[in-house]
Structures are given as C-alpha cells and as structure tokens.
Chains A and B, each alone.
Chain A
Amino acid sequence: MKFGVIRFPGTCDDVDAQLAAQRVGEAELLWHRDRDLKGVDAVVIPGGFSYGDYLRTGAIARFAPVMEEVIEFAHEGGIVLGICNGFQILCEAGLLPGALLVNDNLKFVFRQVTLDVVSHDTAFTRSSPAQLSIPVKHTTGRYYSPTPVQAVLKYAAGQNPNGSQDDIAGVVNEAGNVFGLMPHPEHAVDALTGSTDGLTIFDSIRATLESRVVPA
C-alpha cells in the first residue's frame, strides 16, 4: 500500500508527511509538475506555502498539473488527505466545501490542540480514539462554509485557535474519500514529540485501503 505525498514549490511538511505515512505503509514524493500519480493508493497534500501562497492560500497550487490528476483520482473514489495548506488547496479545487480565512486574531497560531473526533465512520478516523492531541500551526485556518458540511474533527471546547465556524477543524466530502484538516497529524506520530495521535489518521487510511482489497 503506497501513499503519494505531493511537493509543490513552497511545501514544507512533505518529508514529515512521508515519514508519517511510512509508519503504516510505503510513501513517495510526487512533483507538482508531473501529471502522474505513479499508481499510489492514497494521495497526501501536505502543509506549507505552495507557490508562496500568493493571491490566496492554495489558489495557484490548485491549478498545478498534478492537481488535474488528483481531481480525477478523487472523482474516481481515491483517498485524498489534505493537511493545512493541503486543506486550503482542496477547498480551492472544489474537492471540499468551504474556504479557509485568516485567523480571527490575525496571528500565526502554533500550539497543541485537543480535537473531538465527531465521526469515526470515515476512512480517515476509523482507528482514532474519541479525542486527538495534535499541533496546529497556521495563519489562515478559520474554516467557513455557507452550506452545511460533514465535520469530522472539531476543536474541543475552548480550544478553537482561529475562529473556525462551529469549531470545525476537519471536513470530509460527501462521498467520504476526500478529507482536509488544519491540524498536523504528521507532526504527532512519535512519542518523542508528545503525542502519537496523528498516526491514527494514517492508520485509518491504511485500514480503509486494506479493507477495499478483495482477497484473491
């Protein structure tokens, strides 16, 4: 089972995402100019500042050649995980509803947050406990959607770091195969850094993909 982690110019969490994915399967980096997902089973769009986040976060990355493949992959039911900047890109690409706005306090927030797992019945949280302790680090993380969405993760009471609508930290698309979240599960995979809760996101994807495989 192989994850593909996309690297845009300005991406900075690609290697952490790759290392996190490698704890549950194989993972390789995919280049933004390639129109080839190299047969991966799941796509991770990691955090960072793709194309400098010029214009709006994710606005330009969304038109990268590799994103045409990601959009097609997602429409065919492929598993796509967008973390932070990846979440912003997925919203810009229309693969997820809503948008991310600048934090209500206008500040870069960098802290460990507690998340309530609102739904375990997803491809991304089936292995997760009731709450996750995962860091956030962003300036543009205030989730907004004018229409109802399927929230999967919410900031626990009193923990909302950015003014997100309804404390939403992560949403899944209607089909359930595309997930975006502002917190960084790839930074919470080793006890050395305080929490391994992020690993449950990657492990949920692994379990989902393995359950899809029909035994010969």
Chain B
Amino acid sequence: MRARVLIRPKAGILDPQGQAVERALPALGFSGVSSVHVGRLVELDVEDVAQLPSMCEKLLANPLIEDFEIIEGIAAH
C-alpha cells in the first residue's frame, strides 16, 4: 500500500522556516497569511502498514521535536 507521512515541527518550537515563508508571501503581494509552518513529506510503498508508526518513531520523525501524521492508501506515484 502506498502511504504518506506528514512531519511537522511540534507546536511551541520555533519554526524559522515557517516564519521566513510567512514574511516572504506579503512581499510578493499575498496578504492575509499567518501561522505558516514548514515540515517534510515522506511517501512510501509499504507491505505492512502496521509498521508505519514504529518507522516514524524510530527514523522518519524525531518525536522530541516533530509530530507525524500517517495517511494510508494514497494513489500510486
């Protein structure tokens, strides 16, 4: 099954990448944008989706600083 893992900086931890993007958008004429956060996206084919949470905790994310969200059954690449 193809799955997608979304990895985000944990709430409360300074996210300078999100802040930089948030500052850049008004400079391009896009207004009304706030709370921008930048994370990572991992897509993978996996035989046993039950292993995904463990994969995330051990390698794909660092649970100390990042939250992850698993989306199962996305369309093939």
Chain B residues, Cβ within 8 Å of A56: 62
| B17:A106 contact, CB within 8 angstroms | yes
| B65:A101 contact, CB within 8 angstroms | yes
| B64:A106 contact, CB within 8 angstroms | no
- Residue A188, interface by CB 8 Å: no
| B13:A144 contact, CB within 8 angstroms | yes
A4–B20 Cα distance when bound, in Å, is 41
- Residue B70, interface by CB 8 Å: no
Chain B residues, Cβ within 8 Å of A163: 14, 16
Contact status of A102 and B16, CB under 8 A, knowing A55-B59, A59-B59, A63-B59: yes
**Hey, what's the 0/1 contact readout for B1-40 against A, CB within 8 Å counting as 1?**
0000000000001101100100000000000000000000
Chain A residues, Cβ within 8 Å of B64: 98-99, 144, 146
- Residue A159, interface by CB 8 Å: no
In the complex, which residue of chain B has the Cβ closest to the Cβ of A146? B64
What is the interface residue range for chain B against chain A? 10 to 19
- Residue B49, interface by CB 8 Å: no
| B16:A106 contact, CB within 8 angstroms | yes
Chain A residues, Cβ within 8 Å of B16: 102-106, 163
**Hey, what's the 0/1 contact readout for A48-76 against B, CB within 8 Å counting as 1?**
00000001100110010000000000000
- Give chain A nearest CB distance to B43 CB in angstroms: 14
- Residue A92, interface by CB 8 Å: yes
- Give chain A nearest CB distance to B12 CB in angstroms: 9
| B17:A144 contact, CB within 8 angstroms | no
Chain B residues, Cβ within 8 Å of A99: 62, 64-65
A55–B60 Cα distance when bound, in Å, is 7
Known: A102-B17, A105-B16, A144-B13. 10 other contacts (CB 8 A): A56-B62, A92-B62, A99-B62, A99-B64, A101-B13, A101-B14, A101-B65, A106-B16, A144-B64, A144-B65
Query: Can you list 7 contacts pairing A with B, beta carbon distance less than 8 Å?
Result: A59-B59, A98-B64, A99-B62, A101-B13, A101-B14, A105-B16, A144-B13
Which positions in A face B, CB cutoff 8 Å? 55-56, 59-60, 63, 92, 98-99, 101-106, 142, 144, 146, 163
